[in-house]
Amino acid sequence: MSLPDSAPIIELIEAFRRSKTMFAAVSLGIFDRLHQQSATAAKLAAELGMHAGALERLLDGCAALGLLDKREAVYHITPVAERYLCNESLYSLDGYIRYSDEVLYPMWGHLTEALKEGSPRWKQVFGVDGPIFNSFFRSEDAARGFMRAMHGFGMNVSPIAVAAFDLSGFRRMADLGGGTGHLAIAACEKYPQLRAVVFDLPPVLPMAREMTGRSAAWERLAVVEGDFFTGELPEADLFALGRILHDWTDEKCRLLLRKIADRLPSGGALLIMEKLLAEDGVGPVSANMQSLNMLIVTEGKERSLGEYTGLLRDCGFAEVAGHTTGAWLDVVLARKR
């Protein structure tokens, strides 16, 4: 009898090693340094105060992963690393990588406890209690680091999200919990008739103003302070929730969705950007892993289109359509009943 191939199991055993190799290289500034000029391991080790032989192993590992190219003992940055791992790139995931390394990686070390208790791990790992966003914004550096992480991620997916449905019939969008404004920026740059408000908590606003100010559509972008659970929502015929609903329980989602429906005019709509689970809850893998991440970090979870449809119809929305983008996030558009 032939044995099943063990390769999938071995790959899972070793998966964290690949992540930590990239995480370490990013934290050391390797990619930003090689973006400026290619170098040998010895030269980089001298500059960084590292053990030359040990650093060479890290660089060779990055080369094996396709992040660097090694030619005659000189390391060169590859196009994929140039685009996604360098701070200067508009599409840099540097912030998301550092957040994953410094925050998520230690929290995932306590997945078993999260499964036993059904609650996030902020208190256990960082000694921080209270509402979840107190944890994200526990200091000015933590807040900016989290927002940099979300901005890099958003710049890669928001242009895809705003193209999933035709939004040309809308005139004013309110991006609730809009962070640095990447979704509002993408929408206004694609639809010239659209004006947008980025609506978020006070710690987010300085970076939101900075990022929206860089957009070609900056004159049609505004940044407004507010809490979408407790404050009055801006006026809009299109509301947007980008990676918001997966933070919260069904009960809190209903509170927010009803509030949005009440604020929308007739014919208004809600754009939701999340990763959609299959209807049976199995797959795609990235959605399942993100749902476990929500267990560890928030009180929410990932959902299927059917689950979102149920929530939306309970709260005053009628037409609900989903679009699987093939990218990191999918899109749902719901029109008010």
Q: What are the catalytic residues?
A: 246
3-state secondary structure of 253: helix
Q: Are 88 and 35 in contact (CB under 8 A)?
A: yes
Nearest Cα to Cα of residue 207 among 144, 159, 156: 144
221's CB contacts (< 8 A; 6+ apart) are 181, 184, 185, 188, 195, 196, 197, 198, 212, 215
Q: Are 33 and 47 in contact (CB under 8 A)?
A: yes
For 257, other C-beta atoms within 10 Å of its C-beta total: 24
**Cross-strand bridge partners of residue 305:** none
Q: SS3 string of 262-285?
A: HHCCCCCEEEEEECEECCCCCCCH
Class of residue 79 by CB neighbours under 10 A (exposed 0-12, middle 13-18, buried 19+): exposed
